[in-house]
Amino acid sequence: MHDYLAIHPEVAEALQARKAVVALESTIISHGMPYPRNVETARLMEKTIRDGGAVPATIAVLDGRIRIGLTDDDLEHLGNSQAQGREVMKLSRRDLPVALATRADGATTVAATMICAALAEIAVFATGGIGGVHRGAESTLDISADLDELATTNVAVVCAGAKAILDLPKTVEYLETRGVPVLGYGTDELPAFYTRSSGIRLASRCDSPAMVARILRAKWQLGLNGGAVIANPIPQSAALDQDFVDDAIARALADADAQGVKGKDVTPFLLSRLEELTGGASLEANIALVRNNAAVAASIAHAYAELSA
């Protein structure tokens, strides 16, 4: 392809044979969960995708190249950086060229993972939650670059909606404005990450991988560029209590405000503060939902590969 892209042989072979491949992000490993659960979870996601008959392609920037498909050692390297006092950059669209040119280690967010997946022609990507419009965006203008990426780059993102640390109604409005389909997977409502419902009704619902695949094909064959959000609720058995989560979120947001946390540090700060405030319950819920998203993404990747065959 080109000098910046290094595709793992297993992934390259699967793509060549038009088999199902699922992209995975790495910011969730480096900035979204504590070591060593982050590395265990990254491996669990890869295994879940394999068990679903697809090939996982975790994406990061290492040694000046975009790596599509990582080794177990790479996952460890990204996951234990904080414990070792090394810096791994959090890379969104803005940061990708800087990390490549300076040969910095970097983990890709949803936005950057979509860019890299599209370069490798991977159509389906699984993660936990997308970034969105932050609460207070009226004054801070803090809107995740994930949303504009979803408007432009042709990759379907399977997630559990977005966390209520964000302004969910504004996030949905923004996605509507930018023409991004948000498909409730087995639900009529936007899931709110730790809980199955947000009270926000979605325009579209899908009940099978085949239907998602047909919608993706229709969109892209029409030349309607951009991604789609496949909003897959957390399994009922792993969902947290709504009031418990709301309370922890309110406290985490107040702490971020009091400490003057800004820019790309906001999301990682809130995630780790939530884990402390919930006594680790948010981490367990997060692991359960990413695993569920990986399984659904594998089935969608299959259905899409079959349609394109």
- Residue positions forming the annotated binding site: 90, 110, 142, 144-146
Question: Which listed range, 20-28, 140-148, 166-174, 228-236, lies at the site for Mn ion (CB under 5 A)?
Answer: 140-148
Q: Which does 282 bind (CB under 5 to 8 A by kind): ligand PSU, Mn ion, none?
A: none
State the residues that interact with ligand PSU by CB under 6 A: 25, 27-28, 32, 92, 109-110, 128-129, 131, 144-146, 163, 193, 264, 267, 271
Of residues 25, 76, 149, 275, which has the active-site annotation? 25
Of residues 46, 76, 163, 219, which has the active-site annotation? 163
Residue positions counted in the chain: 309
Cβ closer to ligand PSU: 14 or 267? 267
Contacts of 26 (CB under 8 A, 6+ apart): 42, 58, 59, 60, 70, 78, 107, 108, 113
Annotated binding site for Mn(2+): 142
Q: Which does 153 bind (CB under 5 to 8 A by kind): ligand PSU, Mn ion, none?
A: none
Instruction: Tell me how far, at minimum, the Cβ of 301 lies from Mn ion, in Å.
Output: 29
Instruction: Tell me how far, at minimum, the Cβ of 85 lies from Mn ion, in Å.
Output: 25
CB contact at 8 A, 54 and 44? no
| CA-based R_g, the chain, Å | 18
CB 243: neighbour CB atoms within 10 A?
8
Out of 142, 146, 149, 167, the residue judged to bind Mn ion by CB under 5 A:
142
User: Any catalytic annotation for residue 264?
Assistant: no
Cβ closer to ligand PSU: 217 or 251? 251
Instruction: State the angle between helix axes of 242-258 and 281-308 in degrees (0 to 180), rounded to the nearest 10.
Output: 100
Q: Which does 198 bind (CB under 5 to 8 A by kind): ligand PSU, Mn ion, none?
A: none
Cβ closer to ligand PSU: 10 or 173? 173
H helix intervals, the chain: 9-16, 27-30, 37-51, 72-79, 81-84, 96-102, 110-119, 137-140, 145-152, 168-177, 209-221, 242-258, 266-277, 281-308
Q: What 3-state class would DSSP assign to 157? A: strand
User: Any catalytic annotation for residue 25?
Assistant: yes
Q: Which residue is nearest to Mn ion (CB)?
A: 142
Q: Which of 122, 124, 123, 127 shows the shortest CA–CA distance to 107?
A: 127
Cβ closer to ligand PSU: 6 or 261? 261
Binding of residue 149 to Mn ion (CB under 5 A): no
Cβ closer to Mn ion: 122 or 164? 164
Question: Which listed range, 33-41, 92-100, 141-149, 188-196, lies at the site for Mn ion (CB under 5 A)?
Answer: 141-149
Instruction: Tell me which residues are annotated as active site.
Output: 25, 163
